[in-house]
Chain A
Amino acid sequence: MDITRRDFTKIGCKIIISAASGTAIVQSMFTKGIAAENPPENGGYDWEKHFWGYVVDTRKCIGCGRCANACKMENKVPFDEEVYRTWIERYRVKKTINETFEEEVVIDSPDGGIEGFVDDIPAEEVKKAFYVPKICNHCDNAPCVQVCPVGATYETKDGVVLVDYEYCIGCRYCIQGCPYGARYFNTEKGTADKCTWCYHRITKGLLPACVQACPTGARKFGDLKDNKSEVKKIMDEERITLLKPDLGTKPKVFYIGLDREVK
């Protein structure tokens, strides 16, 4: 068989190119797509054994704002910017004055409720008033995870929705996609940001900062896989509601005592 020099270089080139591109393709298609068998082990924490949930008992909230304050301290969320990982809303339903029986509801959350609230509507004009703590719902079918174009936000195996600050491109599509207004833009990092349920704390056996700070037990956090946890008990025994359940986001923050005005 005669192989001229020209043919030889041709064949050689082809082999080199196909080998180089072939391995590259195979590598990119497979090695990175294989799900790992073992979740990260870190200080004995196994994320397969937990599935976190959060309960808000709005009947107990006194609007002191310690939760929102502790959250900003713990997670270094800037105090001088209007960004919040958790906040408290105040609802005041005014007494009906006109004859249409339409209720006037005043909703506010001055500075996220971090500094507490001051009554600026006279008590005699209000017929019903209450606080509602809000936080990222860590949806099991999270629209923010769905819309992230690069895979920079995800739900962990233990049910926490996180943002990868080293990978997020800052397109802010997730902020648009969140129906609860739980996400914000971190101007310092140039990325999206949100509540992590204090993932750095709960994986070490601590409570999220907001839950720890709550003096009345309006915020509760626990493991839904643990039958003895308080959150699981409330789930099993109380009547609970979700925020915007019609959107099918499957939130994991469960509310007790929500009013119809709360969205």
Chain B
Amino acid sequence: MLENLIWGYVYPNESEIQWSILIVLYPYITGLVAGAFIASSLYHVFGKKEIKPVARFALLTALSFLLVAMLPLLVHLGRPERGIEIMFTPHLTSAMSGFGYIFSFYLTIVVLEIWLSFREDIVNKALSSHGWKELLYSSLALFSFDISEKALHDDEKFARKLAIIGIPSAAFLHGYVGFIFGGIKANPWWSTPLMPIIFLMSAIVSGIALLILLYIAAMKIRKHVIDHKCLQSLAHYLWIFLILDVTLELLEIVSMKYASREDIDIINRLLSDKIGFTFYGVQLTLGIFIPFVLLLMVSLMKNRETLKLYMISISSIFVVIGVFAMRWNVVIGGQEISKSLSGTLTYVPVFFSQEGVLPALIIFILPFIILLVVTSILPPWKDMEEEPS
């Protein structure tokens, strides 16, 4: 059995894959966060009015995923109880050490942004409800009930400033995740300066696609008509970021093959024997080229809203799967080549174990449950269900 999993020579200590499916999930989830946040700032910062129906919903989505983003890391640690040391004594030469602070900073911005954009609703609810609900909403309003026009206007101005800080920090949060891999010179499959920007682009792509899917799902569940203008605008941005994403991903692989350094043999073997299907098949074809063509057709077609809706949904599903495959190919693929550069390993996922598929599934379902809870406390539906003017 073991003989089939290992080809060539791998260092004796490499017989086990150290970073499992949980570490695949981690950049995937932070990517969804960054993408959803950037989608919302298309409205909040760049004033794209078409996005308004989903702008606040996107913020709540970002928050729900952000809250679980650190879970896969924590579960994966050998000593989870010591995890907080990354906040107490961050070793600044490590790309990973910034995690705690960047995460906290970004969480603060997202929470403040949500709070400000929902404050009017919160105060109204606090004033109109009784009992524990009154207490809940009053404390959410921090017992300050000023919703005069001036106050709201100031809030909006401040929220906009926050969103402006939010974009670079979202980009930083995720670009830095890319750097965790890109900065490892020991691993030829990871070590490229393009890694942060590739991670960022695929993050935006996956976040917008997720937002599209959640929006369609929410409207179907609430039995409300979909605002096609908003949807197609999102699809349009998805398409643009897909182009950037595919350009960078191809640039990486082409320059690797063209430069043909010492490690090219093992990279070629990785791409042909190990992750050939998930890389060429899922990540590039299913995750990028098919959605790219479908979305191109959507933008060229006139009317036929139902067909477009299907095409956008299918593209979004493919993109979300494709970006997961991309994370898989980076995290698992990079570990399937030996640093001896003369052998490969195979990752076999386990279902029941601390680092198995089961905890990964639980962690991935969690943000959807959180989103359900958050949207019941702070319903964003009003924006979505306004009749498009």
Q: Do A and B bind each other?
A: yes
Given contact pairs A89-B9, A134-B11, a sample of 11 additional A-B residue pairs in the complex whose CB atoms are under 8 Å apart: A107-B8, A148-B94, A149-B99, A152-B85, A168-B79, A169-B85, A171-B78, A173-B94, A179-B186, A184-B13, A189-B78
Q: Is the CB of B18 within 8 A of A175?
A: yes
Q: Is the CB of B82 within 8 A of A167?
A: yes
Mark out the residues of chain B between 329 and 350 whose CB falls within 8 Å of any chain A CB in the assembled complex.
335, 338-343
> Known contacts being A84-B13, A176-B187, A180-B11, is A169 close to B82, with CB within 8 Å?
yes
Judge if B269 is at the interface, Cβ distance under 8 Å.
no
**What residues of B have a CB within 8 angstroms of the CB of A109 in the complex?**
9, 11-12
> Known contacts being A173-B96, A183-B13, is A147 close to B341, with CB within 8 Å?
no
Provide the bound-state CA to CA distance between A123 and B221, in Å.
73
Q: Is the CB of B79 within 8 A of A176?
A: no
**What residues of A have a CB within 8 angstroms of the CB of B85 in the complex?**
150, 152, 167, 169
Judge if B15 is at the interface, Cβ distance under 8 Å.
yes
**Residue interface bits A77-88, CB-to-B below 8 A is 1, else 0:** 000001110010
Closest A residue to B13 by CB, please name it: A184
Provide the bound-state CA to CA distance between A149 and B100, in Å.
10
**Residue interface bits B74-99, CB-to-A below 8 A is 1, else 0:** 00111110110110011101111101
Closest B residue to A134 by CB, please name it: B11
- Sampled A-B contacts (8; CB under 8 Å): A89-B9, A105-B342, A107-B8, A108-B9, A149-B97, A150-B86, A173-B94, A247-B185
Mark out the residues of chain A between 28 and 66 whose CB falls within 8 Å of any chain B CB in the assembled complex.
none
**What residues of A have a CB within 8 angstroms of the CB of B93 in the complex?**
145-147
Q: Is the CB of B13 within 8 A of A177?
A: no
B residues near A, CB below 8 A? 8-16, 18-19, 73, 76-80, 82-83, 85-86, 89-91, 93-97, 99, 180, 183-187, 335, 338-343
**What residues of B have a CB within 8 angstroms of the CB of A84 in the complex?**
12-13
Closest A residue to B87 by CB, please name it: A150
Interface of B is mostly: loop
Judge if A172 is at the interface, Cβ distance under 8 Å.
yes
**Residue interface bits A175-191, CB-to-B below 8 A is 1, else 0:** 11111111111100111
**Residue interface bits A147-170, CB-to-B below 8 A is 1, else 0:** 111111000000000000001111
Judge if A222 is at the interface, Cβ distance under 8 Å.
no
Provide the bound-state CA to CA distance between A62 and B90, in Å.
45
**What residues of A have a CB within 8 angstroms of the CB of B96 in the complex?**
147, 149, 171, 173
Provide the bound-state CA to CA distance between A145 and B97, in Å.
12
Provide the bound-state CA to CA distance between A168 and B94, in Å.
14
Provide the bound-state CA to CA distance between A147 and B85, in Å.
15
Provide the bound-state CA to CA distance between A189 and B78, in Å.
8
Query: Which of B11, B91, B99 has the most C-beta atoms of chain A within 10 angstroms of its own C-beta?
Result: B11
Give how many A residues have a beta carbon under 8 Å from the other chain's beta carbons. Answer: 46
Q: Is the CB of A107 within 8 A of B13?
A: no
**What residues of A have a CB within 8 angstroms of the CB of B89 in the complex?**
150-151
Provide the bound-state CA to CA distance between A170 and B18, in Å.
10
**Residue interface bits A120-136, CB-to-B below 8 A is 1, else 0:** 00000000000000100
Q: Is the CB of B91 within 8 A of A112?
A: no
Closest B residue to A172 by CB, please name it: B18
**What residues of B have a CB within 8 angstroms of the CB of A179 in the complex?**
185-186, 339
Provide the bound-state CA to CA distance between A180 and B97, in Å.
23
**What residues of A have a CB within 8 angstroms of the CB of B77 in the complex?**
169-171, 190
Q: Is the CB of A176 within 8 A of B11?
A: no
Provide the bound-state CA to CA distance between A141 and B343, in Å.
26
Closest A residue to B93 by CB, please name it: A146
Q: Is the CB of A176 within 8 A of B99?
A: no
